[in-house]
Amino acid sequence: MASDTIRSLIRQIVAVQDEQVQLMTELKEDLSRLLEGAWQTSKLYLEDAAGTSSPAARDRALEDARRSLSEAVGVAANKSAHKAAVAGELTLVLALLNRAEDAARWAARSFTFAEECAPTRWGFWPSC
C-alpha cells in the first residue's frame, strides 16, 4: 500500500515538472519574440526601403528601420554578438540617411559591443 502511494506521489512530481518545462518553454518563446520583435520589424522596413523608387518613401522606411533598430539595440542582451550586429546595422542605416556623425558614433559603439565578445587571451568567448 505504501509503495503505491509513493509511486503515485512520484508520478505527480514528474507531471508537475513536465508542466513547468512546458511553461518555461512558452515563456522563453514569448521572451524571444519580445526581444527580437523590433529587429525583425526593422527588416520589414529595410525591405520596403529597398523596394521603392521614391526617395521620400525610401527615407521614411529607413527612418522607421532606424527607430526599430534603436529599440532592438536597447533590448538586446549586453555583451552579445546580436547587440553588436544590430548596432552595426543601425550604423549602416544612419549612413544611408546621411547622418554621418550618428553613424560614426554607432560604428564605435558597435565595435565596442563586438570587442566585448572577442576571444580573450585564453581563447574562449566570454559571454557570446
**Does 3 map to a domain?**
no
Taking residues 96-101, report their average pLDDT. Answer: 97
Domain membership of residue 22 (yes or no) is no
- What is the per-residue pLDDT for 80? 84
Report angle CA 101, 117, 94 to the nearest 5 degrees: 20
Name the nearest CA neighbour of 87 among 63, 64, 103: 103
121 has pLDDT over 60: no
Q: Which of 33, 68, 61, 56 is nearest to 46 (CA)?
A: 61
Residue 11 lies in a domain: no
Per the structure, the count of domains in the chain is 1
Q: Is residue 46 part of a domain?
A: yes
Cell of 66: 532606424
pLDDT tens-digit profile of 24-46?
888 888 777 777 889 999 999 99
What is the per-residue pLDDT across 41-83, written as a single tens digit (0 to 9) for each? 999 999 999 999 999 999 999 999 999 999 999 988 888 888 9
pTM of the model: 0.73
**Between residues 120 and 17, the one the model is more confident about:** 17
Is there a domain that residue 30 lies in?
no
Q: List, in order, residues 6 or more apart from 106 with CB less than 8 Å away.
A: 87, 90, 91, 94
Asked whether residue 9 is domain-assigned, the answer is no
Q: Is the pLDDT at 124 greater than 60, yes or no?
A: no
Task: Examine residue 124 and state whether it is found in any structural domain, yes or no.
Answer: no
Q: What is the pLDDT of residue 115?
A: 85
Mean pLDDT of 16-23: 89
Is 58 within a domain? yes
